[in-house]
Chain A
Amino acid sequence: DIQLTQSPSFLSASVGDRVTISCRASQGIASYLAWYQQKPGKAPNLLIYASSTLQSGVPSRFSGSGFGTEFTLTISSLQPEDFATYYCQQLYTFSITFGQGTRLEIK
């Protein structure tokens, strides 16, 4: 299985900050990567797919980039509603895997 390693696992930031979360794949996955946001007690929500395509309805402060084994999710200016846990996911193989998650908390 392809392993996805996110860094950091925990991030403390302030409203208005620019934050970046990384996701490293154990082997090349081209652009078959997505990012999801999950708030406590809620189901996850798709933010970015195909590495850099913004899902409809997602604010433009979210952006994604990367190819192969290195990917990033960037939030350009944190809003109060962005404090949540973020997961990357790969669809390159028939065994879909997620990263372990990055918990983003208010400083």
Chain B
Amino acid sequence: QVQLVESGGDVVHPGGSLRLSCAASGFTFNTFGMHWVRQAPGKGLEWVAFMHSGGHKIFYVEAVKGRFTISRDNSINTLYLQMNSLTPDDTAVYYCVKDRSPLVSWSDYFGFWGQGTLVTVSS
């Protein structure tokens, strides 16, 4: 069955960095677009970043452009999110999300979500 297991969440000081990982299994990873979505405590959902299956199309929400980098290693079925210059506004549960269908031209709807990893930015 499909599994997405996030890791790397931690408590970090403002201005610090963190790298999240998402280990995928149960599907052909290199054929699906992947996303990071975050949810601040008690708040709604915010899409953060997308990487197409082949890595050629990448998009970010404006709030993280220039600070966050999404990447993937299709040889080990893993998605990453490098987060730099973190601020308290980045405090959230970060979800790794798989597109519903493979090999679409850009993004599909969000077909499967991991359980999330908590990032806390605090001094």
Interface residue total, chain B, C-beta cutoff 8 A: 21
A49 CA to B104 CA in the complex, in Å?
15
Known: A45-B113, A94-B59. A87 touches B107 (CB 8 A): no
Chain A interface size range: 20 to 34
Residues on A with C-beta less than 8 A from B111 are 46, 55
For A81-107 the 0/1 string (1 means CB < 8 A from B) is 000000101010011111111000000
Count the A-B residue pairs with Cβ separation under 8 angstroms: how many? 55
A91 CA to B106 CA in the complex, in Å?
10
For A66-90 the 0/1 string (1 means CB < 8 A from B) is 0000000000000000000001010
For B48-65 the 0/1 string (1 means CB < 8 A from A) is 001000000001011000
Residues on B with C-beta less than 8 A from A95 are 47, 59, 61-62
A38 CA to B44 CA in the complex, in Å?
10
Residues on A with C-beta less than 8 A from B45 are 36, 38, 44, 87, 89, 98, 101
B100 at interface, CB cutoff 8 A:
yes
B115 at interface, CB cutoff 8 A:
yes
Taking the closest CB of chain A, its distance from the CB of B49, in whole angstroms, is 10
A100 CA to B40 CA in the complex, in Å?
12
Which B residue's beta carbon lies closest to that of A87? B45
B89 at interface, CB cutoff 8 A:
no
Taking the closest CB of chain B, its distance from the CB of A79, in whole angstroms, is 22
Known: A34-B109, A94-B59. A43 touches B95 (CB 8 A): yes
**Which residues of B are in contact with A by a Cβ distance under 8 Å?**
35, 44-47, 50, 59, 61-62, 95, 100, 106-111, 113-116
**Which residues of A are in contact with B by a Cβ distance under 8 Å?**
1, 34, 36, 38, 42-46, 49-50, 55, 87, 89, 91, 94-101
